[in-house]
């Protein structure tokens, strides 16, 4: 058995006659499967006490996301329903925006991989999740932000990002008219999740999207994605960073093709009008983005 595993490349020898999994995902899958073999109760030997405090722990991310599928394979939809009900349970006791957003984000993360199984949560679970998701958006508005400490808002926002931030899905509706111009400015910053399809298109291989000087950097092999891209992907609803002016322009041209509308970077005059128009300071703070039309 050991010879077979070594030959397969699943495990590798390290110092001190010890072995480790070559690919971390395989180890995380086995951890999720081991949890699924435990009971559904609340005792120390059951899976919930082990998971409860680790649902949004970055080091447990893959195990947590693989766990619902393992539960489904090892007992059916009823076990997954129990998991989701437990995740949503804090909303029965605490209705703070931070808790609501965090719970909504975790639930979304758990539901996402279950789509390949055609799993449909019970209507009561679906309704509680959707209500939490809708309510959680208030943390991104001035009045809601006042109710939640900045540390909690960041944590909740990143939980939403990992579970599917609904603001991104509504991006074409999150556009603000700039007084004195004919343009609309995107309300939120361009996120990693929004930029990712351009990278995977692959936008870095289509010359038509690029200025001549920008394409030269691509042709020279200097860039195939934003800087530190793998790390950025871990926080999908954060603003995309480490991109050049050329990359921002190329993204806008690609997005123009997707939306079938003209998308471009704003001019200096347009920025001035956006910054001095009859819009509140709170709204201006959210309007710094690279895309508009």
Phi, psi of 206 (to 5 degrees): -110, 105
Q: Among 74-88, 218-232, 253-267, whose mean pLDDT is lowest?
A: 218-232
- Tokens 């004195």 locate to 180
pLDDT of 226 higher than 90: yes
- 134/105 Cα distance (integer angstroms): 11
In three-state secondary structure terms, 165 is: coil
High-pLDDT (> 90) share of the chain, %: 36
**Residue 108 has what pLDDT?**
85
Does residue 215 have a cis peptide bond before it, meaning omega lies within 30 degrees of 0? no
List, as own/partner pairs, every contact residues 225-229 make where C-beta atoms lie below 8 angstroms and the sequence separation is at least 24, other chains included: 225/199, 226/195, 226/199, 229/199
- Contacts of residue 126, defined as CB under 8 A and 6 or more positions apart, other chains included, come to 120
Percent of the chain with pLDDT strictly greater than 70: 84
Examine residue 202 and say whether the peptide bond preceding it is cis (omega within 30 degrees of 0): yes
Packing angle between helix 61-73 and helix 77-88, nearest 10 degrees? 140
Q: What is this structure's pTM?
A: 0.64
């Amino acid at each position: 058995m050991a010879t077979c595993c070594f030959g397969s490349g699943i495990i590798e020898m390290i110092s001190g006659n010890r072995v480790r999994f070559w690919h971390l995902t395989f180890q995380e899958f086995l951890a999720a499967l081991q949890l699924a073999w435990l009971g559904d109760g609340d005792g120390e030997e059951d899976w919930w006490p082990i998971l409860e405090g680790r649902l949004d722990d970055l080091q447990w991310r893959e195990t947590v996301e693989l766990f619902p599928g393992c539960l489904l394979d090892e007992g059916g939809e009823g076990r997954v329903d129990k998991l989701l009900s437990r995740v949503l349970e804090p909303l029965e006791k605490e209705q703070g925006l931070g808790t609501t957003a965090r719970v909504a984000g975790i639930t979304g993360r758990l539901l996402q991989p279950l789509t390949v199984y055609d799993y449909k949560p019970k209507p009561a679970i679906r309704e509680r999740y959707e209500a939490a998701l809708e309510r959680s958006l208030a943390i991104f508005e001035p009045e809601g932000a006042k109710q939640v400490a900045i540390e909690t808002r960041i944590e909740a926002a990143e939980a939403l990002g990992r579970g599917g931030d609904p603001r991104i899905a509504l991006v074409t509706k999150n556009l603000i008219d700039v007084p004195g111009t004919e343009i609309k400015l995107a309300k939120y910053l361009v996120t990693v999740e929004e930029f990712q399809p351009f990278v995977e298109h692959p936008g870095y291989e289509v010359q038509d999207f690029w200025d001549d000087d920008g394409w030269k950097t691509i042709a020279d092999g200097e860039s195939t994605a934003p800087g530190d891209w793998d790390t950025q992907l871990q926080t999908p609803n954060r603003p995309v960073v480490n991109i050049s002016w050329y990359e921002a322009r190329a993204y806008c041209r690609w997005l123009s093709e997707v939306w079938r509308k003209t998308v471009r970077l704003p001019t200096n005059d347009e920025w001035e009008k956006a910054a001095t128009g009859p819009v509140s300071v709170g709204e201006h703070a959210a309007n710094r983005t690279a895309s508009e039309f």
